[in-house]
């Protein structure tokens, strides 16, 4: 019988691992249930079961830890996030490249890979790049790339580089990161039409925690911010928006390669026909929803940056 993932069991694992019981809200639960319902229709290879379950438990555990930390320091939720920069676009159009370039400005504050993965306690400005958690993650990364050098072809990251909002919006189980875990059309369709308010409210809470002792003007990136610009602007009305552009054939081909690797990793199988249809559909959704936002908020509300 195929592995069946049970939400209550994974939640209990996260609670036991952290010694914490309380979530700030249950807004994550609908997305978690739909995601696991889709996953349970597939056959997850034995080698991927622990990896997939571990990712879910880690997201839940970090939400528990963030909730507890903000309960200890509630004044952080009153601190503003002013004029954050959001980089987005059709996937594989250079959002990482631009985000890393912007992060070279010392006046900017980017969420770094290590602090997203291990956010409590949040770092200080002095320890952003030399916290023991960062150094341990750098060593783990070195070992991973030595074992699987092909990973570097698709996604160039580092413990001390800026990373995507997707990895903490995942705590609300409303991101395309979860959809990349396999052939999950029900989760995808739900995600593309659901109200994303709770995900962006949680996004803001998480940043307010990270900036507790390491403030700055936030530099943020996630291609799929493109899908929810009206909700983003509801939570961050003074946000500065940047749309990255690249040849669509090149970008979509790269997108297919990235998701192919993800499907192979988490489901052990790649349905190329589905993947081709899904990547084209998602790329189209990204582009059309940005154009819809431009029609709604004005042409000049979004800055264009070309890959070349």
- pLDDT tens digits for range 181-191: 999 999 999 99
- pLDDT tens digits for range 87-121: 999 999 999 999 999 999 988 999 999 999 999 99
d(CA 197, CA 176): 16
| Predicted model pTM | 0.94
Give pLDDT, residue 111: 98
Give pLDDT, residue 145: 84
CB atoms under 10 Å from CB of 78, counted, come to 7
Q: Where are the domains of the chain?
A: 7-122+162-306
Any idea what DSSP says for residue 173?
T
Do 279 and 256 contact (CB within 8 A), yes or no? Answer: yes
- Give the CATH H-level superfamily of domain 7-122+162-306: P-loop containing nucleotide triphosphate hydrolases (3.40.50.300)
Tally the C-alpha atoms within 13 A of residue 130's C-alpha that lie toward its C-beta. 3
Any idea what DSSP says for residue 121?
S
Which pair of tokens denotes residue 195? Answer: 């109200």
Give pLDDT, residue 10: 98
Least confident span in 41-45, 123-127, 241-245, 275-279:
41-45
d(CA 86, CA 131): 26
Least confident span in 31-45, 94-108, 261-275, 293-307:
261-275
């Amino acid at each position: 019988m195929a592995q069946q993932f049970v939400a209550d069991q994974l939640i209990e694992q996260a609670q036991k691992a952290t010694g914490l019981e309380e979530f700030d809200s249950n807004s994550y639960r609908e997305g978690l249930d739909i995601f696991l319902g889709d996953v349970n229709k597939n056959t997850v290879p034995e080698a991927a079961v622990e990896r997939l379950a571990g990712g879910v438990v880690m997201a839940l555990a970090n939400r528990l830890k963030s909730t507890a930390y903000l309960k200890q320091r509630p004044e952080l939720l009153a601190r503003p996030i002013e004029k954050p920069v959001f980089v987005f676009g059709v996937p594989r159009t250079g959002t990482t490249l631009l985000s890393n370039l912007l992060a070279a400005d010392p006046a900017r504050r980017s969420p770094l890979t290590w602090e997203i993965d291990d956010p409590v306690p949040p770092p200080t400005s002095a320890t952003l790049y030399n916290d023991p958690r960062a150094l341990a993650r750098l060593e783990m990364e070195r070992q991973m790339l030595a074992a699987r050098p092909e990973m570097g072809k698709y996604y160039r990251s580092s413990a001390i580089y800026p990373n995507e909002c997707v990895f903490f919006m995942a705590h609300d189980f409303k991101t395309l990161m979860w959809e990349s875990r396999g052939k999950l059309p029900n989760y995808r369709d739900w995600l593309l039409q659901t109200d994303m308010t709770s995900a962006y409210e949680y996004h803001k809470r998480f940043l307010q925690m990270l900036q507790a002792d390491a403030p700055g003007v936030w530099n943020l990136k996630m291609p799929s911010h493109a899908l929810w610009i009206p909700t983003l602007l509801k939570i961050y009305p003074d946000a500065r928006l940047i749309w990255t552009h690249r040849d669509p054939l090149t970008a979509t081909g790269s997108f297919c390669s990235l998701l192919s690797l993800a499907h192979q990793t988490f489901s052990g199988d790649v349905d190329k026909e589905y993947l081709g249809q899904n990547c084209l559909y998602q790329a189209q959704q990204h582009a059309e929803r940005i154009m819809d936002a431009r029609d709604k908020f004005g042409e000049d509300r979004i800055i264009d940056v070309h890959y070349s």
